[in-house]
Chain A
Amino acid sequence: MHDIVDKTYQIPYPSAGTEVLLSRLAYIQEQEKMDVIIPNFDAELYSFIKLENKLKTMGIHTFLPTMEQFEERHKVNLNDFGKKYGIHVPRSKTIYNVNEAQQLEKDYEWPLVVKGKYYDASLAYNFDQVKAAYNKISAKWGLPIIIQEFIHGTEYNVTGLGDGEGNTIAAVPMRKQYITDKGKAWGGISISDKQALELTERFMQSTRWRGGFELELMKDKSGDYYLLEINPRMPAWIYLAVGVGQNIPEALTRLAMGWPTPAYTHYDVGKMFIRYAWDMIVDLHEFEQISTTGEL
């Protein structure tokens, strides 16, 4: 993808810690003189938020949620988050032992949603299925596991950008039209939904959210919205927001640079994104280069 990407550097896995990441970024900065980094993987956000000030002294700007915002919106804290800001959230419990889920049978109805700390979710219709999902997800993503009440309804998502002062710089709601087996959007359409935008506005004002985000919402049969998850970064479908008139990556870059960034007030309704996968043909020497030097 040399027509899109000028240069690629591998960076350490988040498990290596912030110091290793910092020294790698210092090396990259010597070569590239970057102005802005926009991290987009859930697991690496913590490290980048921690390093925000150090990166700034190196000349690298970021525009990330505060550590408090990042922690507060975490799946494991969603119940408290809902209470604090008066937003409907499905009831959930964080567990470190699969037997804890057995006690939930009294309070929750089947099915239950078994969720990983960062990623993955499975529906379970009985305790055996809870166990299987618990083992599978915890082996991959670690503990804790979140058991959540299942809300029947239609899933909607909102991506947007907050300036950290309580203002909404951008917000685009989307309905997933095609999903993968993991529930990820493979196609979607921009919609006009006042309720979803009001909920987003309330979220922005009350948390004074800083940076890009994605809200995962479920609208139940009676039309009430439940907030299922807050992802503290732009989603993979961000290009739909650009396509309907709200260039969130550009606005985020402007905010990171401290440039004036007017709020978007309009977007096109009824525009779709359809994702496609594509086979790249790569010479072995390029694979060799990225594998041995971590650069391409």
Chain B
Amino acid sequence: MRVKNNIAVSDNGFIFNPGSGESFTVNPVGLEMLNLLRKGHPHNEVVTMIQEQYVAEAAQIERDLLDFIEMMRQYRLMQHDDE
């Protein structure tokens, strides 16, 4: 799955889904994760890049990333690769 390519993300973490009209906000770490995912980085690269900037265990970051992706899936901000 990947992040829907039509969603708009602002520099301060405001997300707008133009298909549903829903909007969300994410914190700075969430925004970085989201932007890396939108650029097509695989999960392991996202974890490494986040770890370079923050003091946290890779396992912790990975758990948070997977939680974040799952939450985005529930909010219908993700789509299947073939869509």
Interface on A for B, CB 8 Å cutoff? 154, 156, 174-175, 177, 188-193, 269-270
Minimum CB–CB distance from A243 to chain B (whole Å) comes to 15
Whether A191 lies near B8 (C-beta < 8 A) is no
Partner of B19, one of A177, A188, A191: A191
Interface size of B as a range: under 10
A156 to B21, CA, bound (A): 9
A188 contacts across to B, CB distance below 8 A: 21
Residue of A nearest to B17 (CB): A191
When distances are taken between beta carbons in the complex, the residues of chain B under 8 Å from A174 are 21
Interface contacts (Cβ under 8 Å), in number, total: 24
Interface status of B6 (Cβ within 8 A of chain A):
yes
Q: Which of A154, A156, A177, A192 contacts B18 (CB 8 A)?
A: A192
Q: A175-B22, A188-B21, A189-B21 are in contact. List 11 more A-B contacts (CB 8 A).
A: A154-B20, A156-B21, A174-B21, A175-B20, A175-B21, A190-B21, A192-B18, A192-B19, A193-B19, A193-B20, A269-B18
CB-nearest residue of chain B relative to A188?
B21
Which residues on A sit within 8 Å (CB–CB) of B6?
Answer: 192
Secondary structure dominating the interface of A: strand
- Residues of A close to B23: CB separation below 8 A: 189
Bound Cα distance A160, B18 (Å): 19
B interface secondary structure, majority: loop
Check: B16 CB closer than 8 A to any chain A CB. Answer: yes
Instruction: Tell me the bound Cα distance from A156 to B22 in angstroms.
Output: 12
Task: Write out the residue numbers on chain A whose beta carbons fall within 8 Å of the beta carbon of B20.
Answer: 154, 175, 191, 193
Q: Would you give the shortest CB distance from A198 to chain B, in whole angstroms?
A: 13
In angstroms, Cα B20 to Cα A175, docked, is 7
Q: Which residues of B contact A270 (CB under 8 A)?
A: 8, 16, 18
Bound-complex Cα distance A99 to B22 (A): 41
Which chain B residue lies CB-closest to A189?
B21
Q: Look across to chain B and name the residue whose beta carbon is closest to the beta carbon of A154.
A: B20
A29 vs B20: C-alpha distance in the bound complex, in angstroms?
45
Residue numbers in A under 8 Å from B18 (CB-CB): 191-192, 269-270
For B8, give the chain A residue with the smallest CB separation: A270
A194 to chain B, nearest CB (A): 8
Which chain B residues (40-57) contact chain A, with CB distance < 8 Å? Answer: none
Tell me how far the C-beta of B76 lies from the nearest C-beta in chain A, rounded to whole angstroms.
9
In Å, the complex CA distance between A188 and B8 comes to 18
Q: In the complex, which residue of chain B has the Cβ closest to the Cβ of A219?
A: B20
C-alpha spacing A158/B48, complex, angstroms: 45
Question: What residues of chain B lie closer than 8 Å to A189, measured between beta carbons?
Answer: 21, 23
What is the CA–CA distance of A156 and B17 in the complex, to the nearest angstrom? 14
Write out the residue numbers on chain A whose beta carbons fall within 8 Å of the beta carbon of B8: 270
- List A contacts of B16 (CB < 8 A): 270
